[in-house]
Structure 1
């Protein structure tokens, strides 16, 4: 198996760790293989879009989601390190309003599966970070929402001792009690 899938505190959110082949020349690993992804996760997903961002230290992006056209995301870091966070926004879920986080870096090669129905964001811990992710649906700006990154009701324990740099839309994120959420439990497959 080219990678292992391990559930986080929220069972539908998975950490994927690839088998990395390395020697004095460098390393190689498969970052995605549909057959192996389905076998390791039990999910049959179809990715339709790849996104790539670069951010400076202290930038916090998120917590984003689409209320219509919810996206599943397979996220990873190719340069630097981030603390990546998801929040369950599926009202009928046993973990509604709960969060899970993971350190993703170019060194640990970890990926995170973010199911549809979750808000997602990250903060850059290194001098800069390049963040890549696949999505199961296209971006629809009219359906994009932002959950407030520091909502006390969610209580995310961001591993930072600085005020993060935020986009205007993230500064204006909604509290969980005011946010548009998913009324039915979405299936993890897309």
Structure 2
């Protein structure tokens, strides 16, 4: 498996080696030891979520407040999607920078999203299923939503017709509005969350 850091510090793209024969293919979806080498701490799953979307559905940009913070290991288990991570950590040297990946069930490509970084995707096929392996359990009231069509971000979603979005996402604040309201984590808070993840259990 090749693990490559993206333009967003602490976010990684993971590309598995596919073993193919006349029956089909096999690949490792994640190897904890290899991921730990690049993260500097274990990634311990606390919750696994799936969502299924019809073509041209846009979900995001979503994140989780710190605390509790939440890292994500994202894969596409059916269909195909355009995945975008965006640095929302105030004070980050890469604030506002983003990374785009095409994820699909055939390639097995995955994305690791660290605490404080926003995530969203556009479904490219009907019945697209995405899997989120999460470092923390859901805590009501801690989700941060950012307008995925924020003109200041100008994310390259690549849709040719208005995407299907939830009312919540369509009404989400821009990055500037969220920052003004104090909703976004700072770069230092995200580093602290990273250090806590790396600390040995008592």
CA contact (8 A) 2:4 2:12 kept: yes
Paired residue for 2:56?
Answer: 58
* Displacement of 1:130: 0.8
Mapped to 1, the partners of 2:103 and 2:79 lie a distance apart of: 9
- Summarize deviations over 1:86-143 as a string: whole Å, max 9, x none: 1111112101122211111112210001010011110101123110111111112211
1:48 aligns with 2:72: no
TM-score by length of 1: 0.92
Which residue in the other structure is 1:12 paired with? 10
Distance (whole Å) between structure 1 residues aligned to residue 137 and residue 185 of structure 2: 18
The question of 1:157 aligning with 2:160 is answered: no
More helix by share: 2
Aligned residues: 188
CA deviations on 1:58-108 (whole Å, 9 max, x unpaired) are 111111111132210000001111011111111121011222111111122
| Equivalent residues of 1:4, 1:40 under 8 A apart | no
The residue number in structure 2 matching 1:181 is 184
TM-score with structure 2 length normalisation?
0.87
Structure 1: unaligned runs, 5 residues or longer = none
Contact 1:15 1:110 in 2 (8 A): yes
Structure 2: runs of 5 or more not aligned: 198-202
Rounded to whole Å, the distance in 1 between the matches of 2:116 and 2:39 is 17
Rounded Cα–Cα distance in structure 1 between residues aligned with 2:99 and 2:107? 18
The answer to whether the 8 Å contact 2:56/2:123 transfers is yes
Instruction: Give the Cα separation in 1 of the matches to 2:107 and 2:86.
Output: 23
Q: What's 1:30 paired with?
A: 28
Question: Does the CA contact (< 8 Å) of 1:69 and 1:138 recur in 2?
Answer: no
**Which runs of 4 or more aligned residues in structure 1 lie more than 6 Å from their structure 2 counterparts after TM superposition?**
none
The answer on whether the counterparts of 1:5 and 1:41 sit within 8 Å (CA) in structure 2 is no
1:33 Cα deviation (Å)?
2.4
Q: Normalized per residue, which structure has more strand? A: 1
Deviation at 1:12, TM superposition (A): 1.7
User: Which secondary structure does the structure 2 equivalent of 1:45 belong to?
Assistant: coil
Q: d(CA) in 2 for partners of 1:45 and 1:111? A: 14
